[in-house]
Amino acid sequence: MAGDVTTLFRASTAHSPSIAMLHRAGGTGAGGAHGRITDFCIPCNPYFPTPAMFEQLGGRLREILTYYPSGSETITAELCQTLGLNPQTVAMGNGSTELITWIDHLLVRESLAVPVPTFGRWTDQPMETGKRVDMMLLPEAHGFRLDPDAFVRFIRARRSRTAVICNPNNPDGGLLTKEQVLALCDTLQDLDLVVVDESFLEFSDAAAETSIVEEAVLRPHVIVLRSLGKNFGLHGVRFGYLVANPALAGRIRSMLPKWNLNSFAEAVVFMLKEHRGEYEESLRRSRQDRQEMTARLSMLPGLTVYPSQGNFVYVRLPVGVDGAALRDRLLTEHRVLVRECGNKVGSSSRFLRLVVRPPQEVRQLVPALEQVLYGGPVHPAPVPAPPLAAAQAGAGAPVAGVPHGLQLVPASAPVLAPASAPAPAQMPAAARATATAAVPVVGPMAMARGYTSSGTAAVDRLVSG
């Protein structure tokens, strides 16, 4: 059964399998025999809707499932009244992915430039319709921070006609200031389109001060994308919206089906007004959880944690650890699901994106990581002063424990690996004794599928063109 579960990840090319697929393959459910999966993969709000809201929705389940929803214009008008937006500048979609699809079909001509790694639909969707996608590799040495000036130079060199940035970026959580984003948009006003994807912005520490929603409606070439499913912790409902100049927003709206929003989306939107306080509190708690989770992960030897303003953190695994093998072990042995990033362009299997979860769930994640990586609990690693380059990078400087060459500690049946791999000094004695029987380290074939700091030649050619 475990083999069936882990096979699902190898069958998927760009995204993780759904929780429903994992439950079916593993024979589990919410209360299945093997226990519930603790999810650090899907980035959603763990505190919203509140239990009372779920109870209210449950009481209306038959009505919601039985009847047609109102038209999208009715639902959009309610959302705009709640958020203080002009309905003429808004288009709501069946998830932000539907809006990305229509943006590509209607507004992207021959080419699109985007920094990578980033959300996969911004690279995959245009390629699926035959567009040229110009990918600028975000430098690991600078904490994956986007340099707006470098991006402009990249766009000019490639002569890209559309530019996309995610703010904060997914998977690393890097954030540009409002001034930087507006300067970028205005510098690129000769392009066909600039898209600023703010799907995770509300989880940042300065969301209101960073959003360019108000400014976007004054610019004829700018679209801001927002995701309600991520903010409200309801990915399954599928709803999101964009804000743009009325002409741009109207062009997208004209192509959307009348009933592209379902009855669950309508029910949630019409509940928001009376629950804004609970929603704001959920964001505050998520921000606090991010700080605590980042601090706890940074204590693990050899793990590098990059500063994030999303509701997730991007981590680099210790040298020699294959993220896919780690992911499979965490799921099958500890019922913990993580996002291994080997299938993200611009990333590799040495990186995980870990969703911010409540402290009680982090207390399940950390011991699971310790068991698989080190063979048991480890003493917190001291956090060294960052090197000069990282210190100059400021907020983009990653936080790391003491670097070690590590292998995964075997679960049961040994699998041979190079015996020369060093065992970290802080490993328990039992872990050091079995280090030579660990899961194989990343070798040449695995490195060919991705890269670490500078990228392999193959990926550099893909990114650089």
Per-residue pLDDT band at 372 (split at 50, 70, 90): very high
**pLDDT number for residue 304:** 97
d(CA 380, CA 400): 11
Residues in the chain: 465
**pLDDT number for residue 58:** 96
**pLDDT number for residue 462:** 39
Across 64-91, average pLDDT: 96
Residue-wise burial string across 134-159, b where 16 or more C-beta atoms lie within 10 A, e elsewhere: bbbbbbbebbbbbbbeebbebbeebe
The DSSP line for 33-98 is: TT-PPEEESS---TT-S-HHHHHHHHHTHHHHHHSPPPPHHHHHHHHHHHHT--GGGEEEESSHHH
Query: Residues 207-217: pLDDT tens digits?
Result: 999 999 999 99
Query: Which parts of 210-303 are beta strand (E)?
Result: 222-227, 240-244
d(CA 155, CA 136): 9
User: Average per-residue pLDDT in the chain?
Assistant: 83
**pLDDT number for residue 418:** 29
**pLDDT number for residue 455:** 34
Tokens, residue 174: 């890097």
Whether the CB-CB separation of 142 and 169 falls below 8 Å is answered with no
**Lowest mean per-residue pLDDT among 60-74, 321-335, 369-383, 445-459:** 445-459
Q: What residue has token string 């204590």? A: 299
Per-residue pLDDT band at 406 (split at 50, 70, 90): low
Across 387-415, average pLDDT: 48
Across 356-376, average pLDDT: 97
Whether the CB-CB separation of 155 and 134 falls below 8 Å is answered with yes
Beta strand pairing call for 312-316 and 304-306: antiparallel
Query: Residues 280-331: pLDDT tens digits?
Result: 999 999 999 999 999 999 999 999 999 999 999 999 999 999 999 999 999 9
255, pLDDT greater than 60? yes
Name the DSSP class of 380.
P
**pLDDT number for residue 410:** 65
352, pLDDT greater than 80? yes
Tokens, residue 139: 């430098």
Q: How far is CA 459 from the centre of its chain?
A: 21
153, pLDDT greater than 50? yes
Across 143-166, average pLDDT: 98
End-to-end CA distance of the chain: 42
Across 99-111, average pLDDT: 97
Tokens, residue 453: 């700091």
- Total Cβ atoms within 10 A of residue 325: 22
Of 140, 129, 210, 199, whose CA–CA distance to 164 is shortest? 199
Q: What pTM value is reported for the model?
A: 0.82
**pLDDT number for residue 447:** 34
**pLDDT number for residue 392:** 37
Cβ burial of 465 (10 Å; 0-12, 13-18, 19+) is exposed
